[in-house]
Structure 1
């Protein structure tokens, strides 16, 4: 089986659902043109449409650039911070373009992949749902071709790996460390990487070890465009 040289990123609560709940957003800003990454979520517990459930606006990735042209304020704001949360008018704009809001139930052990240009959010569980003891337990993983990573990317990834730090959505080109929002994180966080995280494969994914880009294996598509 052929393999593609990849790199990954690591990222690792809840009121009940109310009518109209929505924090639909984009993680890819206007400066990134086209497909820059596939984001992913690995589910360690089942999630049904009655639980804390992942949602997308179906087909919204096709309207990413058009959205920012239609809403100049959103475009300017996303240049400063890529995460952009929609207001009601912006969400309605996507709906009027045929991008309907759908829930994505996932079985335990399942994985969801989505184009980083996709509008998405998660919705709180229903009050009185059947499995009231079911927690949302998800590990977010995003991968991009390792050949896209420059010297600064590799230095960043090595430091994050050594310090067992969590990072945001981008595994190369625009990486940032994820800030802890809870005091208990230091108590719950691991202090030493497990054996599986110290394997050759894991170190390649994290940029600690270098791929041989001339070994005849695919290196993925060329680096994407920026504004």
Structure 2
């Protein structure tokens, strides 16, 4: 029996460290996500209104990183987020990547970022500066471990913010670390975490060694994929288009132990949000850092913080399968 040829998107992904797969989510489904995510922001008691630009401020919005990344407030288990996470087209892409449909999903968040500019956008926050990093343990960069994904749910051109990458950097880490005598301990998140950051000198090294800076552009409904070892960051939208996307990531169920699966089900039933690693159950609100609890602009704990969705996920067989439940 002959093996199916490797799809072109996977060839490109392995070579460049990122790829855009077009037309995975339908336009109607994108519109539904946009409407539901704006309604979610308006559900908080701080006065945000999508059609009133004077309310596009930190005072009127729940707390989100870099102007619009939301992964607390139980948002990961809102029904509109799960509709994207369990989307057959996205699940099929990751099943192709892994060579199995027996996969788990992460309980990651979503992004609604209004543009930042004086004419049509926000003026209360600065543009996001580049924060180059990888989402993999620096000790393991010699091997592939995970692909991350963004379900891009609105047009995303050069001025619309979003993912930026150093093309091909996923294959350069061993050479880079050898050139500086190992990874920098102060930029390492620790052996049990999957994060490592880069200083300006490191960033320049990758550029000098053939890694092109790319602001990834994608159409409405496209799926963006990247290797967790690819150096990346996000940029602010500066045009007129609000950025809408959902972060999606999956891995084979075999990468989780029975204890991991039991813990994952507990996390799901508690409606907690996790990092993008589907098998590790790292919960944002359980972390011992300032990000664990959302806060208001004055630093006080957000009284509107919540541990249940506004509109809870419907526990369909497709959803429970991605949680790890098997009949």
Query: Which TM-score band applies after superposition, normalised by the shorter structure?
Result: 0.7 to 0.9
- 1:41 aligned to 147, 150, 153, which one? 150
What's the TM-score, normalizing by structure 2?
A: 0.55
Q: Normalising to structure 1: TM-score of the pair? A: 0.77
Query: What do residues 41-73 of structure 1 show as CA deviations (whole Å, max 9, x unaligned)?
Result: 112222221022211100111123333344424
Tell me the SS of whatever aligns to 2:154: coil
The partner residue of 1:167 within 254, 274, 277 is: 274
Q: C-alpha root-mean-square deviation of aligned residues, in Å?
A: 2.7
Distance in 2 between the 1:106 and 1:184 partners? Answer: 37
Hey, which of these two has a bigger chunk of helix by percent?
2
What residue number does 1:74 align with? 184
Structure 1 alignment gaps of length 5 or more: 212-227
How many residues align? The count is 200
In 2, Cα distance between equivalents of 1:184 and 1:43: 31
Match of 2:229 in 1: 117
Return the alpha-carbon distance in structure 2 between the equivalents of residues 22 and 39 of structure 1: 19
The one-character-per-residue Cα deviations of 1:85-123 (angstroms, maximum 9, x if unpaired) are: 211001011112211110111222221011111111111
Distance, in Å, in 2 between the alignment partners of 1:42 and 1:123 is: 16
Instruction: Note if 1:85 corresponds to 2:197.
Output: yes
Report the alpha carbon displacement of residue 74 of structure 1 after superposing the two structures with TM. 2.4
1:2-58, CA deviations, whole angstroms, 9 ceiling, x for partnerless residues?
85211110211564548xx31111111123341111100112222221022211100
Q: What is the CA–CA distance in structure 2 between the aligned matches of 1:16 and 1:203, rounded to whole Å?
A: 40
Equivalent residue number for residue 6 of structure 1: 103
The answer to whether the 8 A contact 1:166-1:178 is kept is yes
Task: Judge conservation of contact 1:11–1:178 (CA < 8 Å) in 2.
Answer: no
**Structure 1 position 191, deviation (Å):** 4.7
Report Cα offsets for 1:175-206 as digits up to 9, x if no partner.
301234343773596155332xx111211111
2:170 is the alignment partner of 1:61: yes
Partner of residue 51, structure 2: none
Structure 2, unmatched stretches of 5+, are 1-91, 117-124, 286-292, 296-301
Indicate if the aligned counterparts of 1:49 and 1:103 stay in contact, CA closer than 8 A. Answer: yes
The answer for the alignment partner of 1:150 in structure 2 is 257
Question: Does the 8 A contact of 1:53 with 1:123 survive in 2?
Answer: yes
The residue aligned with 2:137 is 29
**Matches of 1:39 and 1:184, distance apart in 2:** 32
For 1:34 and 1:43, the matched residues in 2 are separated by 27
